């Protein structure tokens, strides 16, 4: 009996301990900044603020009605907009229902200062870093294949150095394949691939067979938009390879399937008879289930009623322009339905020029509405402009800075360029995705930017009060996202929760001067050459840093690279302070995850005076050289403390400054 009683006591104690443990875990989860048992939390600090209206970028995995709960002030007498549409109901208390589209949505609340956060009930798995995306990604080298797997090279101008996670599968012979099982239902996909260039540099076209289960689809591929040669700013002429080998190998193809295939279906890419390219390098595949086209809003004019015809191969620029002009006159929106609309009229070489305030242009979804051609784009010279839910597919095949405009062009500033919303656009094959000069208030969210020949996004010359969030950017020919304080100081820009991968010149994210900037929660991957994952720089003669610069909570994988022209290595986080352009702002670099850096985890470089920087509480795991390196010419001081450094091949911290730089605190865990 004593033994039984003792056993019961032990079990009772164990159960009590387990209940206590689970209670603590639940309390911790509820305290986490973006997770909650009820739903996904979006904090006030993340919101885009203009005229005291707070706009949150929200991600959901399914179309439907969601309950939105706010913490803080009551919603009584407030105006709420979802994706730019006013919600026609009276709000009381702290909850309301809203129909949200699969993917990224915007929720705007006027007079929202007293609201601490909003919670999307039932959507509890919000991403902690990077952009919210609706696709599943498959690295080809991880799946069943009889092709040749190549990986782990970071040598400039080798194929693998430009592949995601530095690996790919090569299908060289008839019968070579890569095969995988779908994780989720799928009716659309993206293949990132490389096929050979032509002798004249204009590219070749070749098909590759795609099997979805037993169903065959021939996918048409091209190398028209890839392969450049020589040195910056590159050439399309292969004969220039002797002055600098080939570069920019990979491109993407979008495929919409005839039906939805269920999870578990085999997807196979295979080289068969009729697939004539010498080789097919498969980097990755992205699959998703896209929703039905978005309907025309009740207050919108349809471009079809003004002569635009989808999918006919004829130019639609004049018809769409006429619809925009009529919408301005009638104070209505513009709706562009599903289909491909050609925009190539040389009269519209700068795209559609928006000179009037209060213009909203909507598509049926980034997979459904496509504006394609040499002139497919927008030049914005006004305020209160909103672009939603369509694709811009350009025709740029090499970098020509004096000729090709950005897809979204705000380069020539005029008074009143403010409150710009760019939401759920797919931008591909341009020189630049978005470039803005002296613009006040840009909210860019939910966009995919692919395969550009210069920057993905550049906020330049005084552009301030911007929130760039939930964007997925890949394969840019310059900085993925840049804030370039040229001539005029930029203030209060936030680059938060974006994914930026594979910049093939320069940095994933670059900050050239500025005041009170935030770079937070971004997922940065695979810097190819000439840059770092995050570059904090006074290069290019910017307005110097002021206020507080916060670099926090970012994840950097395989970042940093080499400047091949001068044989200098750059860290995953690269602080470049140029002589006569000091950095004396309160710059805080903390709580970042830095993994598998090509060279240093953090590098401090150049001759300019650096002061007041704090580098703390970062987790640095895996470095080709040092965890933190202070360069030979570095001048000034920094507080370096509480960083966890592991697997740094050359050592944890290396001070090569010849006593010109002071580490105020060096207390390693």
622 touches 597 (CB < 8 A) = yes
Task: Evaluate the omega torsion of the peptide bond into residue 233 and state whether it is cis, within 30 degrees of 0.
Answer: yes
Please compute the mean of the pLDDT values over residues 364-388 and round it to a whole number. Answer: 98
At 37 the pLDDT is 59
Please compute the mean of the pLDDT values over residues 35-56 and round it to a whole number. Answer: 90
How many CA atoms, within 13 angstroms, populate the side-chain half-sphere of residue 54?
A: 18
3-class DSSP state for residue 551? Answer: strand
Please compute the mean of the pLDDT values over residues 107-121 and round it to a whole number. Answer: 94
For residue 257, the cross-strand partners are: none
Q: What are phi and psi of 158, to 5 degrees?
A: -95, 150
Q: What are phi and psi of 375, to 5 degrees?
A: -115, 15
321 touches 287 (CB < 8 A) = no
41 is written with which tokens? 């939390």
What whole-number distance in Å separates Cα of residue 296 and Cα of residue 333?
10
Listed in sequence order, the residues at least 6 apart from 192 whose beta carbon sits closer than 8 Å to its beta carbon are 164, 250, 251, 252, 282, 283, 284, 285, 286
3-class DSSP state for residue 25? Answer: helix
Find where tokens 């080809």 sit: 140
At 31 the pLDDT is 39
Name the pLDDT band for 668 (thresholds 50, 70, 90): very low
What whole-number distance in Å separates Cα of residue 505 and Cα of residue 521?
23
At 7 the pLDDT is 57
At 14 the pLDDT is 60
3-class DSSP state for residue 17? Answer: helix
Residue-wise pLDDT for 489-536, tens only, equals 999 999 999 999 999 999 999 999 999 999 999 999 999 999 999 999
Find where tokens 């691939």 sit: 193
Position 199 pLDDT exceeds 50: yes
Q: What are phi and psi of 17, to 5 degrees?
A: -60, -45
Q: Which of 292, 293, 282 is nearest to 260 (CA)?
A: 292
Name the pLDDT band for 346 (thresholds 50, 70, 90): confident
Sign of the alpha-carbon torsion through 24, 25, 26, 29: positive
At 15 the pLDDT is 63
Exposure b/e, 324-358, CB count within 10 A at least 16 = b: beebbeeebbbbbbbbbbbbbeeebeebbbbeeee
CATH superfamily label, 136-288: Galactose-binding domain-like (2.60.120.260)
528 touches 165 (CB < 8 A) = no
At 25 the pLDDT is 44
Position 8 pLDDT exceeds 90: no
260 touches 247 (CB < 8 A) = no
At 649 the pLDDT is 98
What whole-number distance in Å separates Cα of residue 544 and Cα of residue 663?
22
Residue-wise pLDDT for 65-93, tens only, equals 999 999 998 898 899 999 999 998 767 78
What whole-number distance in Å separates Cα of residue 50 and Cα of residue 457?
20
What whole-number distance in Å separates Cα of residue 626 and Cα of residue 604?
12
Which strand (E) or helix (H) includes residue 28?
Answer: helix 2-31
Q: Spell out where 373-477 has E strands.
A: 378-380, 385-393, 408-410, 418-428, 434-437, 440-445, 448-450, 457-460, 467-469, 472-474
Please compute the mean of the pLDDT values over residues 646-650 and round it to a whole number. Answer: 98
Q: Spell out where 329-437 has E strands.
A: 333-336, 339-342, 352-354, 359-363, 369-372, 378-380, 385-393, 408-410, 418-428, 434-437
- pTM confidence score: 0.94
3-class DSSP state for residue 307? Answer: coil
Name the pLDDT band for 571 (thresholds 50, 70, 90): very high
69 is written with which tokens? 């709960």
Exposure b/e, 239-262, CB count within 10 A at least 16 = b: ebbeebebbbbbbbebbebeeebe
Position 570 pLDDT exceeds 90: yes
Selected from 2.60.120.10, 2.60.40.10, 1.10.3720.10, 2.60.120.260, the CATH number assigned to the domain covering 39-121 reads 2.60.120.260
604 touches 638 (CB < 8 A) = yes
The alpha carbon of residue 210 and the mean position of all alpha carbons in its chain are separated, in whole angstroms, by 28
Looking at every residue in the chain, the average pLDDT score rounds to 94
Based on the number of CB atoms within 10 Å of its own CB, is 403 exposed (0-12), middle (13-18) or buried (19 or more)? exposed
At 23 the pLDDT is 45
3-class DSSP state for residue 347? Answer: helix
The domain locations on the chain are: 39-121, 136-288
Residue-wise pLDDT for 205-250, tens only, equals 999 999 999 999 999 999 999 999 998 889 999 988 888 889 999 9
N- to C-terminal Cα separation, the chain: 51
Share of the chain above pLDDT 70, in %: 94
Residue 93 CB neighbours (<10 A): 10
Please compute the mean of the pLDDT values over residues 139-168 and round it to a whole number. Answer: 97
Instruction: Specify the range with the lowest mean pLDDT, choosing from 122-126, 202-206, 340-344.
Output: 122-126
640 touches 612 (CB < 8 A) = no
């Amino acid at each position: 009996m004593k033994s039984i009683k003792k056993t019961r006591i032990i079990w009772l104690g164990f159960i009590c301990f387990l209940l206590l443990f689970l209670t603590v875990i639940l309390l911790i989860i509820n305290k986490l900044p973006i997770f909650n048992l009820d739903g996904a939390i979006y904090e006030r600090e993340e919101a885009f603020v203009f005229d005291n209206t707070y706009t949150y970028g929200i991600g959901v995995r399914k179309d439907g009605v969601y309950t939105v709960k706010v913490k803080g002030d009551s919603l009584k007498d407030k105006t709420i907009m979802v994706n730019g549409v006013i919600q026609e109901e009276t709000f009381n208390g702290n909850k309301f229902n809203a129909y949200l589209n699969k993917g990224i949505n915007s929720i705007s609340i006027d007079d929202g200062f007293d609201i601490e956060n909003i919670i999307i009930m039932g959507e509890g798995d919000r991403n902690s870093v990077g952009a919210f995306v609706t696709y599943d990604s498959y690295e080809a080298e991880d799946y069943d294949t009889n092709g040749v797997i190549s990986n782990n090279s970071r040598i400039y101008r080798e194929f693998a150095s430009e592949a995601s996670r530095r690996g790919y599968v090569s299908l060289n012979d008839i019968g070579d394949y890569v095969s995988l099982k779908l994780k989720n239902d799928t009716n659309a996909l993206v293949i990132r691939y490389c096929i050979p260039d032509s002798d004249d540099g204009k590219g070749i076209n070749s098909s590759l067979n795609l099997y979805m289960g037993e169903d065959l689809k021939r996918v048409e591929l091209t190398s028209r938009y890839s392969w450049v040669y020589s040195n910056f700013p590159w050439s399309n002429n292969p004969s220039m390879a002797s002055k600098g080998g080939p570069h920019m190998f990979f491109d993407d193809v979008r495929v919409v399937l005839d039906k939805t295939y269920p999870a578990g279906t085999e997807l196979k890419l295979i080289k068969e008879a009729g697939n004539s390219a010498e080789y097919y390098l498969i980097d990755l595949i992205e699959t998703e289930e896209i929703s039905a086209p978005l309907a025309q809003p009740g207050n919108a004019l349809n471009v079809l009623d003004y002569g635009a015809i989808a999918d006919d191969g004829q130019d639609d620029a004049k018809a769409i322009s006429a619809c925009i002009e009529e919408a301005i006159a009638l104070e209505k929106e513009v709706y562009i339905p599903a289909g491909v609309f050609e925009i190539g009229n040389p009269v519209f070489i700068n795209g559609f020029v928006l000179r009037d305030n209060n213009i909203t242009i909507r598509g049926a979804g980034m997979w459904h509405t496509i504006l394609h051609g040499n002139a497919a784009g927008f030049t914005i010279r006004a305020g209160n402009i909103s672009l939603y839910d369509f694709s811009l597919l350009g025709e740029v095949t090499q970098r020509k800075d004096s000729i090709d405009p950005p897809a979204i062009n705000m380069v020539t500033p005029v008074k009143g360029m403010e409150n710009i919303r760019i939401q759920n656009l797919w931008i591909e094959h341009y020189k630049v995705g978005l470039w803005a000069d002296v613009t006040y208030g840009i909210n860019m969210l939910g966009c995919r930017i692919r395969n550009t020949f210069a920057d993905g996004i550049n906020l330049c010359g005084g552009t301030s009060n911007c929130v760039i969030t939930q964007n997925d950017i890949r394969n840019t020919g310059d900085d993925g996202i840049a804030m370039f304080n040229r001539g005029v100081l930029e203030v209060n820009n936030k680059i938060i929760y974006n994914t930026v991968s594979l910049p093939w010149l320069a940095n994933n994210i670059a900050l050239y001067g500025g005041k009170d900037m935030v770079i937070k929660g971004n997922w940065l991957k695979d810097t190819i050459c000439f840059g770092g994952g995050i570059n904090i720089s006074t290069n290019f003669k910017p307005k110097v840093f002021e206020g507080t610069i916060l670099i926090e909570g970012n994840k950097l994988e395989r970042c940093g690279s080499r400047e091949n022209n001068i044989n200098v290595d750059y860290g995953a986080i690269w602080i470049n302070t140029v002589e006569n352009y000091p950095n004396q702002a309160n710059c805080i670099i903390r709580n970042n995850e830095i993994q598998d850096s090509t060279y240093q985890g953090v590098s401090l470089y150049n001759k300019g005076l650096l002061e007041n920087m704090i580098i703390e509480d970062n987790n640095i795991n895996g470095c080709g050289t040092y965890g933190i390196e202070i360069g030979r010419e570095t001048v000034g001081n920094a507080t370096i403390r509480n960083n966890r450094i592991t697997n740094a091949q050359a050592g944890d911290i290396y001070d090569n400054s010849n006593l010109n730089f002071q580490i105020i605190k060096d207390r390693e865990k």
